[in-house]
A and B are shown apart, each in its own frame.
Chain A
């Protein structure tokens, strides 16, 4: 990453206080011996102690190093330094020793895993690992198949008593079997039990789709390769980033950021950024993870903007998840064209035809107006067709923007309803 602009730097701050303190330190007189190379920026900042703090930032990460005792990450010194650098007030210089040492260490560490795409350090050991895992997964799948068949034979009726513990135990077994994707599906099934009147039907839906994975795994070799990839990723095999970058399908376009959904969890924050190509119309999903409480990487662009670049798609029958290589700075975009409710549902059905396990799908609805629907809300298009909003989603911003007039809404669709991410009134995008 080259020169960071001020907004991107502020996006790195762990909280508002740090951002503010960082801005206070973004002044030339606060720093001595500051300098910047093409990969790092550094300087000394006098704090309350006797010794000034040594602060350095690796611009490629960014990664931070600072001798201050702050537990904030990045600390205000690193932010101040980056802001100063963003303002063009740090002069180019040769790296001083302590910076050079640190940067070289980092480079050495980074070099190790960064082999040529597809190349493996010890091919034989890697193959052994892979085949051990395949064996484990296969035996896990067999166990799951047996369990599912048993349940159907004796009936799910008495299930609500023992179901939760049993499904949780099974989910843990699937983690042991190195099939975390299936483990997640089983856990979702466990979550349905006893919830509402229709839970037996819901449970059967969830279990039947788990069964579908298991039986697809049985005939993996017979499946078309892209579908086999989908099955493997649903089971929980991950594809290495390097392989995606090297072998994945590449699409170059101006990618409109349709919006993002952030799901905080106890341990892991997940962010889904949905993209749509301006020329190709292709859809893409960028997944980002961060440990709970840690900031996520800055967005490549704000929702409603274009980010020019190349997407490298993960393999699968429904190529959606991708890695983004940005080629040019982000730029403003007009309001996107959208679909009617009926067309939107049809696009989701197409995705199901390719990947029957697909849960989420980005939709752009055009000329929709809010309507009350039960306890919640729905969006109605010009034909009078409507889609419900995700129950419990706070719709007030969207309602206020619309004021009853037709707007364009980009959202993430799942069976429970649409979770709006961005809406447009005229050409102005509003992040929801």
Chain B
């Protein structure tokens, strides 16, 4: 404003040294000033300036996010979402998002910033938040660098630009998506850039080939066995071991046959005496962990990486000579997990075989879900039931969930059951949330029983609201 700076400099230096002049001020102010002094003029000018404020111009509104919004669930459902984001029963958040997504509901957009922050350090929530954000995912990721992971949604557009010029997250998503659609093309794309990528990126991207793995990948993976990076070599060996009919499998089978011979009703084992170069190339680890000898360790790894088709289930009942049967059993456990064989898992569990470093739960989950309840009922005599069911994917099948809740209903509030209760609270499937235990009195005390009932009730209400 005209004349204002003159007032400020008079005020700064003092009117004794620099008397104020008002001639430069706008006429309207001069008219009203009369014989007023500097402060009167300043007050008029201040209000004049404030009243004369103009709107901002030449602003560029952010382009709108393209696409449609999903309908919102009932307010009572979104209030529950807000409560979870506020710290109440937050562990059910993923379930809420999954259930809402499955039913075609959207998430009120005002909750997206809190969700995006929540998932920033919790990778398992990211796909859920990306789905919930819908058309806003990319839009918000562009505005806030901290939410860049939301870009994952974008790369699904298959634009090769993301592969050649994207950031690490975008490239990874692009490759993963392509692998799902066209495994061959994805491997080719990876092979093309392979020599120029860093060791960490090579190992990371190699892991993405797990999806859609086939014999076609064999040559590429064989060459990766000679990679400079130990991490990459390991990763390649793990992948080769999962390809049925691979040369890698043949090499392992050959090794097995030279160290294990079934004859006259016994398995005769001759532990390897040294680790050959070819064995090392195939990812056999030379360094034995504590509690197992070097040679037994090498043999265990050979068994673990030999295709199950080269071995026989009957061997589980066959006496062993030349090494502890535990070694073989641990190797078979590894092989069963690697190949996801329900048949071997069932046989190993039935024969109460040693599972080595693995938990019996990892074999249990290989069985069809409808066998879990029965298997747990048998195994619980020897294995802690909490350990068994703790490793199973959730939600549990109804039979198992009902069995566990029936059991918990019978044991009062004994503290020994607290962990099982807290696992069950999250693992019970929607159809069993109305179990009779939720209608029994839990007492005033804050016990595991009360928390279990609260969580089951909370989840039941959640599903009702989203239906």
Candidates A209, A349, A405; contact of B64 at CB < 8 Å = A405
With A155-B17, A396-B113, A399-B143 in contact, do A370 and B61 touch (Cβ < 8 Å)?
yes
With A201-B8, A208-B43 in contact, do A352 and B13 touch (Cβ < 8 Å)?
no
The reply to whether A152 and B109 contact each other, CB–CB distance below 8 Å, is: no
Q: Most A CB atoms within 10 A — which of B8, B10, B39, B62? A: B39
Distance in angstroms from A260 CB to nearest chain B CB is 16
* Interface residue? A124 (CB, 8 A): no
* Interface residue? A430 (CB, 8 A): yes
* Interface residue? B273 (CB, 8 A): no
Q: Residue on B with the closest CB to A359? A: B50
> Which of A93-101, A184-192, A384-392 has 4 or more CB atoms under 8 Å from chain B?
A384-392
Candidates B16, B57, B86, B136; contact of A400 at CB < 8 Å = B136
* Interface residue? B104 (CB, 8 A): no
The reply to whether A371 and B135 contact each other, CB–CB distance below 8 Å, is: no
> A403 to B66, alpha carbons, bound, how many Å?
9
The reply to whether A152 and B64 contact each other, CB–CB distance below 8 Å, is: no
The reply to whether A403 and B136 contact each other, CB–CB distance below 8 Å, is: yes
Distance in angstroms from A192 CB to nearest chain B CB is 13
The reply to whether B112 and A400 contact each other, CB–CB distance below 8 Å, is: yes
The reply to whether B43 and A209 contact each other, CB–CB distance below 8 Å, is: yes
Find chain A residues with CB under 8 A from B135 CB.
Answer: 403
Find chain B residues with CB under 8 A from A132 CB.
Answer: none
> A387 to B139, alpha carbons, bound, how many Å?
22
> A355 to B39, alpha carbons, bound, how many Å?
18
* Interface residue? B377 (CB, 8 A): no
Distance in angstroms from B233 CB to nearest chain A CB is 45
With A204-B8, A388-B56, A430-B110 in contact, do A152 and B62 touch (Cβ < 8 Å)?
no
- Interface majority SS (helix, strand, loop, mixed), chain A: helix
Contact with B along A200-212 (1 / 0, CB 8 A): 1100110111011
Distance in angstroms from A370 CB to nearest chain B CB is 6
* Interface residue? B452 (CB, 8 A): no
> A205 to B110, alpha carbons, bound, how many Å?
38
> A431 to B108, alpha carbons, bound, how many Å?
12
The reply to whether A356 and B56 contact each other, CB–CB distance below 8 Å, is: no
Find chain A residues with CB under 8 A from B139 CB.
Answer: 403-404
B199-245 with Cβ < 8 A to chain A: none
The reply to whether B113 and A353 contact each other, CB–CB distance below 8 Å, is: no
> Which of A50-58, A105-113, A238-246, A372-380 has 4 or more CB atoms under 8 Å from chain B?
A372-380
> A40 to B133, alpha carbons, bound, how many Å?
48
* Interface residue? B4 (CB, 8 A): yes
* Interface residue? A215 (CB, 8 A): yes
Find chain B residues with CB under 8 A from A373 CB.
Answer: 56, 59
> A352 to B64, alpha carbons, bound, how many Å?
36
The reply to whether A430 and B59 contact each other, CB–CB distance below 8 Å, is: no
Distance in angstroms from B36 CB to nearest chain A CB is 9
The reply to whether B42 and A205 contact each other, CB–CB distance below 8 Å, is: yes
* Interface residue? B60 (CB, 8 A): yes
* Interface residue? A342 (CB, 8 A): yes
> A388 to B65, alpha carbons, bound, how many Å?
22
* Interface residue? B14 (CB, 8 A): yes
With A205-B42, A387-B55 in contact, do A155 and B11 touch (Cβ < 8 Å)?
yes
The reply to whether B61 and A152 contact each other, CB–CB distance below 8 Å, is: no
Find chain A residues with CB under 8 A from B87 CB.
Answer: 16
Distance in angstroms from B105 CB to nearest chain A CB is 15
Distance in angstroms from A359 CB to nearest chain B CB is 10
The reply to whether A400 and B110 contact each other, CB–CB distance below 8 Å, is: yes
Q: Residue on A with the closest CB to B75? A: A428
* Interface residue? B140 (CB, 8 A): yes
The reply to whether A211 and B43 contact each other, CB–CB distance below 8 Å, is: yes
Distance in angstroms from B131 CB to nearest chain A CB is 15
The reply to whether B110 and A401 contact each other, CB–CB distance below 8 Å, is: yes
Distance in angstroms from A334 CB to nearest chain B CB is 16
The reply to whether A201 and B4 contact each other, CB–CB distance below 8 Å, is: yes
Distance in angstroms from B378 CB to nearest chain A CB is 39
For the complex of A and B, the 7 pairs showing the least CB-CB separation, nearest first, are A155-B14, A404-B64, A208-B42, A385-B55, A396-B113, A386-B56, A369-B61
A-B contact pairs, 22 of them (CB 8 A): A149-B39, A152-B11, A153-B15, A153-B16, A155-B13, A201-B4, A207-B39, A208-B39, A208-B40, A209-B43, A215-B40, A352-B51, A369-B61, A384-B59, A385-B55, A385-B56, A387-B56, A397-B113, A400-B110, A403-B65, A404-B63, A430-B110
